[in-house]
A and B are shown apart, each in its own frame.
Chain A
Amino acid sequence: MKVNFNLNGRNVSYDIPPGEYLADTLRNHSFLSVKKACDEAVCGACTVLLDGRPILSCSFLSARVEGRNVTTVEAVQDDVDEISNFFSDEGADQCGFCNTGLALTILALRKELKNPTDEDIKHFVVGNLCRCSGYQAQFKAIKNYLEAHK
């Protein structure tokens, strides 16, 4: 079947098997920033934005994005460039496999939450698992990033 949607600002029309998941469709079309880690909607590494809101692409059927807007890291390079500075600053960058999904979640957080408390921030990103960092450096980086954008 064909799925027609807006990907990173461009209208695309992809041929897909009906049961294909968005992560595979995106990776098959060279959007390699999208990572598959658990493939069962738990870890958040595969997060992409759908109409600006985070979804788990490993478990989201591609056909479902018909007529909608999908954003991957490839389309928000300047924003992610900036977020990466805050991560570097706190030494929060380790293996990086969770980072692309987390970066998009942070962009969504910034849009959705006004004046979040520490707890609000943690609840918003709790679905992005990280096995390397122990989270504290990530949290500080996110907080600093949001502060800079108050």
Chain B
Amino acid sequence: MKTKVVNHKTPSVDGKGIMMGRPAFTDDLAEPNSLIVKVLRSPHAFARIKKIDISKAKVLTGVEVVLTYHDVPRTSFTRAGQGYPEPSPHDKFILDEYVRYVGDEVACVAAINESIADQALKLIEVEYEVLEPVLDFETAYENKNVIHPEDGIREMFPIGFEPKKNVAAAYDMHIGDVEEALAKCDIVVDETYYTQAQAHAMLEPHTANARLDYHNRLVIYTSTQTPYHVRRIISQTLDMPISKIRVIKPRVGGGFGGKQALHSEFFVSLVTLKTKKPSKMIYSRQEVFESSYTRHPMRMRMRIGAMKDGTIKAIDSDSLSDTGAYGEHALTVFMITGSKVLPLYNKVDAVHFGGRVVYTNHVSAGAFRGYGAIQGNFALESAIDVLAKKLSIDPLELRRKNMMDEGETSPIFAIMGEGTEGTAMDMDTCKLRYCLDRGAELIGWKDKYPFVKAGPHKVRAVGMAIAMQGSGIPYIDMAAATIKLNDDGFYNLTVGATDIGQGSDTVITQIVAEALMTTVDKVIIYSSDTDLTPFDVGAYASSTTYVSGNAALKAALKMKGMLIKEAANYLKVKEEEIVFDGEKFFAKDKVLTLSDMANRLYYNDNQHQLSATESYVGHKSPPPFMAGYVEIELDTETGEYDILHYVSVVDCGVTINPMLARGQVEGGIVQGLGMACFEDVKYSNRGKLNSNSFLYYKIPTMLDVKKLTTEFAESYEESGPYGAKSVGEIGIDTPPAAIANAVANATGVRINNLPVTPEKIFQGLNKRK
């Protein structure tokens, strides 16, 4: 389909204003003179507050409020920003008698300035009963130390919640008999992999501010991915009507899943409701590391069985996930570890996927781009290369032989959804074969696999992985859009869809401009304000282009129909006789400009406001696919390696905005490389996160990845807006396996736990000597 706006280079609608420094982010929009809210945090990994004395803090001049667990509502909830009823256990209280990780909330103060707030924190006296923490997720199950012994917590529907056994969730599914199938195989690979609790490290720390407006309603500005879920959860936990709450999401300085859960909203809301004054809270960088969320670290045992000729017959994936102190996103991330990874090899006779998500006294794990798929991909795609080696088959050949193809399906889709049953679907678009071949070409696989010598102790090697993700959650995620026509013939577009920097404001504007046959500057978008914009679940599950975009497309087409009806009315012709080019209506020999018609509709003639609202819920979640290839140069004496080139060939359907789509892929690749190579999470033996600062937790810099090549496959997904699928997460999935495979190709050393550090490689090389 030829398009004029979609799939054309289009500058973002907001990049210029942001770079020029216009106030746009949450703290930029805080009321001046907001009370400063700070939280006292637990120094212990696991403790009970025996006594807490806030008397000295309360009387400090400049302190307005001090809150402990005695002063806040006692309703359990989940902080996870998900649809209702949430698939995450309601296991959190705003403030509790127990603290469950170093950094957990103990008390909250609000003062007239930061200095006094800090002093007030120091004046709060707490007597703890220090309890023995559970710091090893491999011994958490049925550990005698129970992290959630309290009453009043629950699952919203069965998710395998067994808190007395330290289990937040559990899942098990099988297709066929995997033991039987494995027994018949010529070769079985049996490997166990570990991934770490990656930190999002978004540049804008978590922040929220609250005020009472002149309707005496609570207005919360928050750096969030899910404004509507924030509104609902605040209403439920503070026991106030949803109608009394307004949540506005301003520009967000990065989320990646780390803001798909509530953070400071509770505290600023409570403070503002109590004092009637505006208040704000900004997480310090240390709090972002220690007291927000991380990726779920996992242990995955992967067994893959195949015949001598390379046909993969069975896959058994048995995993353990560490959700930390609270169970946000526990089950759903866990399920994606299987559901958005195992279907890649859809021709097997039998599959088993199962395991548990356990509590520990670590920082709470939550949503993070990839959402289980990156962990699962590391395990599966590493194991596939191990299998290829055992079979003496080229790893590309092995994948070509067994991987998902266009028009095929996997029974896993029907079984595994996100927290519930899934949705069967055929791969109407799957260019994986093309991606794999093209990527091999671009990296120079033929001439480089497995490695070539590059110096006295240097080798260059290549490694790769394939991946899939999803596009929204079918039958659960809903998005809506409203378009209104203004005088002069331009449009206001309001959507709940949440732009967190991924460009959804721009992409959705493009879709509407395309459908209304106009230009992007004539469609003014406003998003994510629960009073003014229609509903959207928020930015997660790679849904804004596919789900929110589809809603906007429907609304635009509805508006177009209304325009034509009005024009026909004015021109006194039949609707079928109207030809509309986006600016003018033609019928027979008559012409009417949109601008004229819009003015007349406002001021002169049959005046009424044209407005179209439409919603969309997906019936499938068409996966984007990609092949990722990496070339490294490795020092065989020290294990150090450089990342020379990362090639990504992606099938995301049509790219609504080709440059922004490339940005999503490349941003994901570099985050994935961060997890694969540099980002090491370290806890002390008392459970304190030592890697709690950018000084110790190293995210990639511009000098760390020499070259990225990104291409998109020609692909058109019928069910997507203008043929689009999604592209927000797929980029992050392949680097860990690609790097581990490249290192194995370079040295014969297999690293099964992330990150793949030079020291691990060095030790592996030494063992081989």
- Contact between A and B in the complex (any CB pair below 8 Å): yes
A interface, CB within 8 angstroms of B: 17, 31-33, 35-40, 42-43, 45, 72-74, 77, 80-81, 83-85, 87-100, 103, 122-123, 125-126, 128-139
Q: Given A97-B203, A129-B203, A135-B702, A80 and B21 touching (CB < 8 A)? A: yes
Digitize B580-592: 1 where CB-to-A-CB distance is under 8 Å, 0 elsewhere. Answer: 0000000000000
- CB distance B695 to A97 under 8 Å? no
- CB distance B659 to A32 under 8 Å? no
- CB distance A135 to B21 under 8 Å? no
- CB distance B253 to A91 under 8 Å? no
Question: Considering the chains assembled together, what is the distance between the CA atoms of A81 and B553 in angstroms?
Answer: 31
B39 close to A (CB within 8 Å)? no
Give the residue of A33, A37, A132, A135 whose beta carbon is less than 8 angstroms from that of B285: A37
Output the residue of B658, B693, B694 with the most chain A CB within 10 A. Answer: B694
Interface with A: B7-15, B65-73, B86-94, which one?
B7-15
B interface, CB within 8 angstroms of A: 9, 11-12, 14-16, 18-25, 28, 115, 200-205, 251-254, 256, 282, 284-285, 500-503, 657-663, 666-671, 693-695, 699-703, 705, 707-708
Question: Considering the chains assembled together, what is the distance between the CA atoms of A40 and B696 in angstroms?
Answer: 12
Shortest distance from the beta carbon of B730 to any chain A beta carbon, whole Å: 14
> For residue B648, which residue of chain A has the nearest CB?
A134
- CB distance B669 to A95 under 8 Å? no
> For residue B663, which residue of chain A has the nearest CB?
A91
- CB distance B662 to A91 under 8 Å? yes
Contacts of B705 in A (CB 8 A): 134-136
What is the interface of chain B mostly: helix, strand, loop, or mixed?
Answer: loop
Question: Considering the chains assembled together, what is the distance between the CA atoms of A88 and B700 in angstroms?
Answer: 22
Give the residue of B19, B502, B659 whose beta carbon is less than 8 angstroms from that of A80: B19
Give the residue of B12, B15, B200, B702 whose beta carbon is less than 8 angstroms from that of A126: B702
- CB distance B18 to A93 under 8 Å? yes
Give the residue of A38, A81, A84, A139 whose beta carbon is less than 8 angstroms from that of B694: A38
Contacts of B18 in A (CB 8 A): 93, 96, 99-100
Shortest distance from the beta carbon of A144 to any chain B beta carbon, whole Å: 13
Contacts of A80 in B (CB 8 A): 19-21
Give the residue of B19, B204, B503 whose beta carbon is less than 8 angstroms from that of A37: B204
- CB distance A97 to B204 under 8 Å? yes
- CB distance B19 to A40 under 8 Å? no
Question: Considering the chains assembled together, what is the distance between the CA atoms of A81 and B11 in angstroms?
Answer: 13
23 A-B Cβ contacts within 8 A?
A37-B203, A37-B205, A38-B693, A72-B21, A83-B19, A85-B11, A91-B12, A94-B503, A95-B202, A95-B251, A95-B501, A96-B14, A97-B254, A129-B699, A130-B203, A131-B201, A131-B203, A131-B254, A131-B256, A134-B708, A135-B666, A137-B663, A139-B702
Q: Given A89-B11, A95-B253, A126 and B21 touching (CB < 8 A)? A: no
Shortest distance from the beta carbon of A86 to any chain B beta carbon, whole Å: 10
Contacts of B667 in A (CB 8 A): 94, 131-134
Give the residue of A32, A42, A133, A139 whose beta carbon is less than 8 angstroms from that of B695: A42
What is the interface of chain A mostly: helix, strand, loop, or mixed?
Answer: loop
> For residue B12, which residue of chain A has the nearest CB?
A93
- CB distance A134 to B203 under 8 Å? no
Shortest distance from the beta carbon of A73 to any chain B beta carbon, whole Å: 4
- CB distance A96 to B202 under 8 Å? no
Contacts of B502 in A (CB 8 A): 94
Question: Considering the chains assembled together, what is the distance between the CA atoms of A139 and B670 in angstroms?
Answer: 14
Shortest distance from the beta carbon of A123 to any chain B beta carbon, whole Å: 7
- CB distance A133 to B23 under 8 Å? no
Question: Considering the chains assembled together, what is the distance between the CA atoms of A18 and B354 in angstroms?
Answer: 58
- CB distance B670 to A90 under 8 Å? no
Shortest distance from the beta carbon of B129 to any chain A beta carbon, whole Å: 33
Contacts of B115 in A (CB 8 A): 17
- CB distance A134 to B21 under 8 Å? no
Contacts of B659 in A (CB 8 A): 89-91, 137
Question: Considering the chains assembled together, what is the distance between the CA atoms of A40 and B693 in angstroms?
Answer: 8
Shortest distance from the beta carbon of A6 to any chain B beta carbon, whole Å: 19
- CB distance B23 to A96 under 8 Å? no
- CB distance B28 to A39 under 8 Å? no
Question: Considering the chains assembled together, what is the distance between the CA atoms of A84 and B19 in angstroms?
Answer: 7
Contacts of A72 in B (CB 8 A): 21
- CB distance A32 to B285 under 8 Å? no
- CB distance A138 to B252 under 8 Å? no
Question: Considering the chains assembled together, what is the distance between the CA atoms of A134 and B203 in angstroms?
Answer: 13
> For residue A77, which residue of chain B has the nearest CB?
B20
Question: Considering the chains assembled together, what is the distance between the CA atoms of A139 and B706 in angstroms?
Answer: 11
- CB distance B694 to A73 under 8 Å? no
Contacts of B657 in A (CB 8 A): 91
Question: Considering the chains assembled together, what is the distance between the CA atoms of A17 and B114 in angstroms?
Answer: 12
- CB distance A95 to B203 under 8 Å? yes
Q: Given A103-B19, A137-B666, A131 and B285 touching (CB < 8 A)? A: no
